Amino acid sequence: MPAGTPGCVAGNTMSGRVYLDYNAAAPLRPEARAAMVAAMDEVGNPSSVHAEGRTAKALIETARAQVAEAVGAQGADIVFVSGATEAAALACAGRGLHGAGIEHDAVRAWIIQDLPVDATGRVYVAAPATSVLQMANSETGRLQELPFGLAVSDMTQAFGKIPLAFDQSGVEMALVSAHKMGGPKGIGALILKRGLDVTAQIKGGGQEMGRRSGTENLIGIAGFGAAVRAATQDLKSGVWERVEKIRNILEKTLESEAKGTILIGKSVPRLPNTSYLATPGWKGETQVMQMDMAGFAISAGSACSSGTAKVRHVLRTMGMTEREAGSAIRVSLGPGTTEAEVLAFADAWLAALKRFRIRDARRTASDDQGVKT
């Protein structure tokens, strides 16, 4: 689907650059932008009872219904918050929940990290009622089987990329965020099981049915709802099947040329758009900078941890060595990604890999010569 086609995320290629970091943030969808611009003209406070306030409130409730419908929940079970990080705090704080070391930092901050993880990234949950488990890992793309009765699931990366049925999952609470699916940054939601409630951490005027006080982010919420509606259409039209085919073309191209590079998660269930590559000895941060200079936006892992040692916690938890984990890069595609773009990236990355291996061979030869003398 070419950029600009209805339902397609615009802005994948900008000023000659190619954006391949959708798991960090997807380009803003035109539908979300239009909804946000329209919401800017609404003067009323959603808590006001006059006509202007009711109009603003109606926009929020429309978005609430759009999010609920997309995940198989009811409107009253959607709590709008500033993002998945706040949703994680609202769901997990003070509960002593158990989880694995591969969870996002926003979740790891609140849990006991003692659930076992195997080399494929699969997490083993013995007591769902007191455990947290992400649906999809942001770095590897690894999908998990959620046990019935799970306390909390981070569905942020899965939302919009694979079908969700929250009402059938048996999960008590789920976290989602708008900017992973082409909505605005700074808005997300906590999804609650029917009849379940949470204790507000932000107290004040009692907005969001008393669960999260503060004047609602009307513009962000409107954009969130519009993005969800567009993302749902993408799922129904088979966009992500096309993305997966392009991802597989990329990996096949790299596999045939990049001997010694590890394709992490290739043999297990994962998101259709995610490739995670490790070339031992070639620092991931170096690869990111080299590809940036070549015009390609990729990452070395979760954007929230970029530039820190924390970026390696997922792979280290899976049993990879520091050398392997430190060499990983993530390439994540979106609805606007084309086959030509991923092949151009493959050419640039393979050329950089060749230069790295030449330098590495020279360095090794020099070290050996030094030992002999």
Active site residues: 304
Structure tokens at 80: 């709008």
Radius of gyration over every alpha carbon of the chain, rounded to an integer in angstroms: 22
**What single letter denotes the amino acid at residue 102?**
I
Q: What is the DSSP letter of 231?
A: H
Closest CA to 134 of 91, 166, 174: 174
Distance CA 98, CA 66 (A): 31
CB atoms within 10 A of CB 214: 15
Q: What is the DSSP letter of 136?
A: B
Task: Say which residues have a Cβ less than 8 Å from residue 259's Cβ, sequence separation at least 6.
Answer: none
Residue 126 burial (10 A CB sphere; 0-12, 13-18, 19+): exposed
Angle at the Cα of 104 (from 100 to 105), degrees rounded to 5?
A: 100
Distance CA 252, CA 190 (A): 38
Distance CA 176, CA 185 (A): 12
Distance CA 152, CA 133 (A): 7
Task: Evaluate whether 79 touches 210 at the Cβ level (below 8 Å).
Answer: no
